[in-house]
Amino acid sequence: MRHAEFAPFYRSAIGFDRLFQLLDQSAGYDSESTYPPYNIERTGENAYRITLAVAGFAQNELTIEVKEQTLSVAGEKAPDAAEKTYLHRGIAARAFERRFQLADHVDVTGAKFENGLLHVDLVRNVPESKKPRTIAIGTSGGVQQLEANAA
C-alpha cells in the first residue's frame, strides 16, 4: 500500500488545509479509487496546480465542474465503433470521477490538456476584508476619541 505524507503541506500550502486533511483521511481506506493518479503542486504564492494522468482519454471525453467548493473531474470513454482484440490491455480506459474539496476563496482559473496530462490551475483570492492588516499602537498620552454622535 502506498501512503503519501501530507504533513509538510499543512505549513506551506495556505488554503488547502481541509483538502490535505481529507486526503489524509481517504488514504486510510483501501476501497477508495486510486485512478487516475494525480499530483498537487504549489506554483506560486497563492497559486496551485492539480495534475491528473489521464492517458488514453481525449480532451472531449473529460469534464471539469466546480460546485459548492468541490472540484470534480470526470472522464468517460466514447464507445469504440470498431471491436478490437487486445492481446494485452495495460492502458486503463474505465470511466472515473475524482473530487477535490477546495478551501474558501480558492477559484479554478483554467485547465490545460497536454501529453496525456490534465492540468487544473487554482488560485486563492482572499478578499481585502479577510486579509491581515496592521493596527497602529497609540501612545499612553491619553485616549483618542474616534467618533462621537450627539444624542
As its CATH architecture, domain 7-127 has Sandwich (2.60)
User: How much is the pTM?
Assistant: 0.63
Q: Tens digit of pLDDT per residue, the chain (151 long)?
A: 455 655 555 554 555 556 666 666 655 544 456 788 999 999 988 899 999 999 888 899 999 999 988 899 999 987 776 777 888 888 777 889 999 888 888 889 999 999 989 999 999 887 777 777 788 888 776 555 556 565 5
User: Which residues lie closer than 8 Å to 102 by C-beta, 6 or more apart?
Assistant: 19, 66, 69, 70, 71, 108, 122
User: Which residues lie closer than 8 Å to 20 by C-beta, 6 or more apart?
Assistant: 6, 9, 10, 13
Question: Per-domain residue ranges for the chain?
Answer: 7-127
